[in-house]
């Protein structure tokens, strides 16, 4: 699917899991409800650099399909950088470099000959600030990804994808009578749902969300969280959030990143079931962070 991908399994690499938790409480637990297209992401020994700056060190974790995985940690701990490495957006920054392996259902997304644009179609991204194309209509915003990814799509099919995507993003009822109006005329929460509709229009398998609610009011935030809970039935979802309560409410698995000191690389401290992380974390650093002892 990703072209000339090289498969590297954990067994072939012969490297241990980073998780110190007992089996059954990590993100690797079996998926009971198979999603239509959701896939597993495996990150193994991932190191990320901006030029000479070592931003993230040695991250190994499995991101399970049909679950919401939250990445938490203080500013500068590398969680957003790590998120951006999962769909090859990190390398868009000049001088940025990725070491290690990231695979989607076993296929190396950094493999030789793999098209990064195809990777980003399969692994979509929703950003912190809602960023609809300001001059485009609501309809065209949703259809934008289709136009980029396919050469020619019949209007009727495009109509149905736009409607399905807007329904999937819980926005259809609010905008169905003004699809030709600019997306920038919507409220912040609506704009973010429009961006989610745009992301799911191209039928990805994974959705990455970088603080998707940080610019929204509490009601719009809860609407997005409800949407995330529904979207996980179809996609693998990874969300970066500074809002600890959001991680607790909206995610199934939580991964805590930290760094030992400013200028040092961020690393994964602990990953586990969200209810464990917020009631009985195994690492003191995690306990101190989720309890608000530092941050």
Partner 1 sequence: MPEIARSEYLEELATLEASALGGLDLVNTALARTMEAVENQDVELAQVVIADDDRIDGRYLEVHQSLITLLATQSPVATDLRLISALLHVLKSIERMGDQCVNVCKVIPLTGNYAPVDARMVDLIVRMGGHTRTLILQAKRAFEERDVEMARDLVRRDDAVDELNRECFHLALEIGDDADRREWAMTMLLSARAIERVGDNAVDIGEQVAFVVTGLFREFEDASHPA
CA atoms of 32 and 234, how far apart (whole Å): 13
Positions touching partner 1 (CB under 8 A) are 74, 244-245, 248, 258-261, 278-281, 286-287, 290-295
Residues in the chain, how many?
Answer: 295
CA atoms of 110 and 100, how far apart (whole Å): 9
Give whichever of 58 and 76 is closer to partner 1, judged by the CB atom. 76
The distance of closest approach from Cβ of residue 239 to partner 1 in the complex, given in angstroms and rounded to an integer, is 18
The distance of closest approach from Cβ of residue 117 to partner 1 in the complex, given in angstroms and rounded to an integer, is 38
| Calculated CA dihedral for residues 76, 77, 79, 84, nearest 10 degrees | 60
The distance of closest approach from Cβ of residue 280 to partner 1 in the complex, given in angstroms and rounded to an integer, is 3
CA atoms of 279 and 270, how far apart (whole Å): 14
Give whichever of 147 and 279 is closer to partner 1, judged by the CB atom. 279
Give the number of other Cβ atoms within 10 Å of residue 218's Cβ.
Answer: 8
Give whichever of 47 and 287 is closer to partner 1, judged by the CB atom. 287
For residue 114, the number of C-alpha atoms closer than 13 Å in the C-beta half-sphere is 22
The distance of closest approach from Cβ of residue 258 to partner 1 in the complex, given in angstroms and rounded to an integer, is 7
What long-range pairs does 143-151 form, CB within 8 A, spacing at least 24?
Answer: 143/201, 144/198, 145/121, 145/198, 145/199, 145/201, 145/202, 146/201, 146/202, 149/121, 149/202
The distance of closest approach from Cβ of residue 287 to partner 1 in the complex, given in angstroms and rounded to an integer, is 5
Give whichever of 202 and 269 is closer to partner 1, judged by the CB atom. 269
The distance of closest approach from Cβ of residue 260 to partner 1 in the complex, given in angstroms and rounded to an integer, is 8
Give whichever of 85 and 286 is closer to partner 1, judged by the CB atom. 286
Give whichever of 173 and 294 is closer to partner 1, judged by the CB atom. 294
CA atoms of 154 and 66, how far apart (whole Å): 31
CA atoms of 54 and 233, how far apart (whole Å): 36
Give whichever of 47 and 276 is closer to partner 1, judged by the CB atom. 276
The distance of closest approach from Cβ of residue 204 to partner 1 in the complex, given in angstroms and rounded to an integer, is 32
Q: Is the distance from CB of 78 to CB of 54 less than 8 angstroms?
A: no
């Amino acid at each position: 699917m990703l072209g000339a991908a090289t498969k590297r399994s954990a067994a072939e690499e012969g490297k241990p899991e980073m998780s110190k938790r007992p089996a059954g409480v990590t993100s690797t637990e079996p998926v009971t409800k198979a999603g239509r297209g959701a896939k597993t992401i495996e990150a193994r020994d991932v190191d990320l650099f901006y030029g000479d700056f070592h931003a993230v060190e040695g991250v190994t974790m499995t991101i399970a399909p049909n679950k919401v995985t939250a990445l938490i940690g203080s500013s500068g701990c590398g969680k957003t950088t790590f998120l951006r490495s999962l769909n090859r957006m990190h390398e868009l920054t000049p001088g940025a470099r990725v070491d290690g392996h990231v695979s989607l259902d076993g296929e190396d997304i950094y493999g030789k000959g793999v098209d990064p644009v195809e990777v980003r179609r399969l692994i979509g991204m929703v950003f912190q600030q809602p960023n609809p194309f300001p001059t485009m209509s609501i309809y065209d915003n949703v259809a934008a990804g289709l136009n980029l990814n396919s050469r020619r799509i019949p209007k009727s099919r495009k109509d149905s994808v736009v409607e399905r995507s807007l329904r999937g993003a819980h926005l259809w009822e609010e905008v169905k009578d003004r699809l030709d109006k600019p997306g920038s005329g919507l409220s912040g929460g609506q704009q973010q749902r429009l961006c989610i509709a745009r992301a799911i229009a191209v039928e990805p398998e994974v959705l990455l969300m970088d603080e998707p609610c940080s610019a929204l009011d509490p009601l719009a935030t809860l609407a997005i969280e409800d949407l995330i809970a529904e979207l996980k039935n179809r996609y693998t979802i990874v969300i970066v959030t500074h809002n600890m309560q959001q991680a607790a409410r909206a995610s199934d698995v939580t991964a805590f990143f930290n760094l030992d000191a400013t200028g040092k690389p961020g690393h994964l401290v602990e990953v586990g079931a969200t209810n464990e992380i917020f009631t009985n974390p195994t690492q003191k650093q995690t306990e101190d962070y989720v309890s608000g002892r530092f941050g």
